[in-house]
């Protein structure tokens, strides 16, 4: 784990989505970035351990979100629906939920947010293209669209209220890359923590978009517009390449999942 690189920049740091896959991975790591780590989720996160507190909240409920944010000085926002789903569900958790979060941040004077955006904001670019933060959004479904909304919402709250946000377009953050696509999109848990630490500690963050990926040889994303964040990945999917090739077959290049960066998300879902 990358605990040694963490800088204790915040007094009370809120982690939403704490019961999820990334929340669980970040929980022990982010304790090194703050004095108190406040864990929140709709689901049970278990009992608070030393240096932690727990505030259960539904992002769709404004009062619960207000109580969740009160007293915090920075937010790592992972909570919400993390895959393609019917619009009504995405609307509540990801769109209304993000609005509640920023309203609470404004009212409670929180000035820095790390927002778990997604590569699915730009999922309809081709795997043969290299894109950067200034390329227009091309969401690959309602899920990606909700993350594009979150990025624009964050920009509005920066322009109007000076709340700085890093919109981290996470690629695929799992213990290992699961398939050939993830050799390009993989982000190790330690690099995710390094990236969040950089977002929390860089002197001037502004409203920034950064792609969340490890130092993979094959990549579709150019992070040159995010150098001010100071993220230097230390892991790479390359060490998994031979094993991934051995257990997977060559992609069918007529399949949209093999053509577009969003992979199977470009054809997933209710429409």
Residues that bind ligand 15L (CB under 6 A): 82-83, 118-120, 172, 185, 263
Q: How far is CA 125 from CA 144, 170, 183, 253, in A?
A: 13, 16, 17, 15
Interface residue with ligand NAI among 79, 123, 144, 262 (CB under 6 A) is: 79
- Interaction partner, residue 78 (ligand NAI, ligand 15L, none; CB < 5-8 Å by kind): ligand NAI
Of 75-83, 131-139, 228-236, 254-262: span binding ligand NAI (CB under 6 A): 75-83
By residue count, the chain amounts to 271
Tell me if residue 143 is catalytic.
yes
Q: Identify the residue among 170, 184, 196, 209 touching ligand NAI (CB under 6 A).
A: 170
**Contact 224/132 with Cβ under 8 angstroms?**
yes
64 vs 177 by CB, closer to ligand 15L: 177
Nearest Cα residue to 157 out of 75, 61, 57, 227:
75
Give whichever of 149 and 252 is closer to ligand NAI, judged by the CB atom: 149
For residues 117 and 175, the answer to whether their CB atoms sit within 8 Å is: no
φ, ψ of residue 13 in degrees (nearest 5): -105, 125
Q: What are the helix and strand counts (H, E) for the chain? A: 9, 9
* Smallest separation, CB 161 to ligand NAI (Å): 22
- Per DSSP, the three-state class of 118 is strand
The reply on whether position 208 binds ligand NAI by CB under 6 A is no
Residues annotated as part of the active site: 143
Binding site for ligand NAI (CB under 6 A): 17, 19-23, 41-43, 58-60, 78-82, 93, 97, 116, 118, 170, 172-173
């Amino acid at each position: 784990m990358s605990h040694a690189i963490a800088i204790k920049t915040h007094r009370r740091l809120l982690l939403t989505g704490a019961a999820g896959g990334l929340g669980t991975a970040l929980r022990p790591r982010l304790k090194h970035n703050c004095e108190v780590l406040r864990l929140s989720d709709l689901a049970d996160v278990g009992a608070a351990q030393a240096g932690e507190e727990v505030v259960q909240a539904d992002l769709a409920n404004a009062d619960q979100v207000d109580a969740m944010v009160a007293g915090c000085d920075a937010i790592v926002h992972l909570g919400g629906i993390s895959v393609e789903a019917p619009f009504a569900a995405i609307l509540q958790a990801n769109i209304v939920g993000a609005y509640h979060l920023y309203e609470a941040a404004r009212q409670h004077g929180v000035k820095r947010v790390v927002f778990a955006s997604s590569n699915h904001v730009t999922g309809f670019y081709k795997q043969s293209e290299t894109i950067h933060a200034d390329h227009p959004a091309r969401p690959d479904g309602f899920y990606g669209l909700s993350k594009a909304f979150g990025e624009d919402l964050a920009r509005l709250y920066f322009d109007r209220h000076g709340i700085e946000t890093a919109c981290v377009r996470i690629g695929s953050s799992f213990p290992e890359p699961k398939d050939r696509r993830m050799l390009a999109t993989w982000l190790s848990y330690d690099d995710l923590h390094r990236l969040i630490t950089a977002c929390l500690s860089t002197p001037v963050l502004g409203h920034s978009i950064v792609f969340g990926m490890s130092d993979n040889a094959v990549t579709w994303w150019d992070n040159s517009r995010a150098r001010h964040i100071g993220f230097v990945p230390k892991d790479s999917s390359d060490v998994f390449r031979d094993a991934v090739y051995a257990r997977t077959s060559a992609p069918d290049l007529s399949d949209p999942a093999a053509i577009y960066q969003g992979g199977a998300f470009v054809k997933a879902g209710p429409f």
